[in-house]
Amino acid sequence: MNRRKKIFWWLFSSKPEQKKSKSAPEKSGSESSGKVVIYSAPDCPDSQLAKRFFSKEKIDYEDKNVEKPEIRQELLRTYGILLTPTIIIGKTIFLGFGINIEDILRILDLWKM
């Protein structure tokens, strides 16, 4: 089984816990802030998968729904994009979740495979 399949099997192997208790680890350099922000849409499967992942890992995140006009404008004004999910971890931006899962695991020091 390749890495990506293992990761998705792990994500879907059990229901996520709703409690969020730990922050992303602090990193040095460009990823100095451990804050996680997810710009998501309710009808976006990749957004739901990203939120499930962070909940399952008990990593605090701020969910910003782009269906709200002010959040959509914030995403466009700040990052010049309108794509969900847009995941910000510290100063690193990920456009999409599934395609970036390996890099997200590395930046969060969760890479174990």
Residue 43 pLDDT grade (very low, low, confident, very high; cuts 50, 70, 90):
very high
CATH for 30-107?
Answer: 3.40.30.10
C-alpha 43/C-alpha 53 separation (Å) is 17
CA atoms within 13 A on the CB side of 15: 3
Mind listing the pLDDT tens digit for each residue in 73-82? 999 999 999 9
pTM: 0.72
Dmax of the chain from CA atoms? Answer: 43
Q: In b/e form, how buried is each residue of 80-111, taking b as 16+ CB within 10 angstroms?
A: eeeebbbbbbbeeebebbbebbeebbebbeee
Residue 109 pLDDT grade (very low, low, confident, very high; cuts 50, 70, 90):
confident
pLDDT attached to residue 29: 36
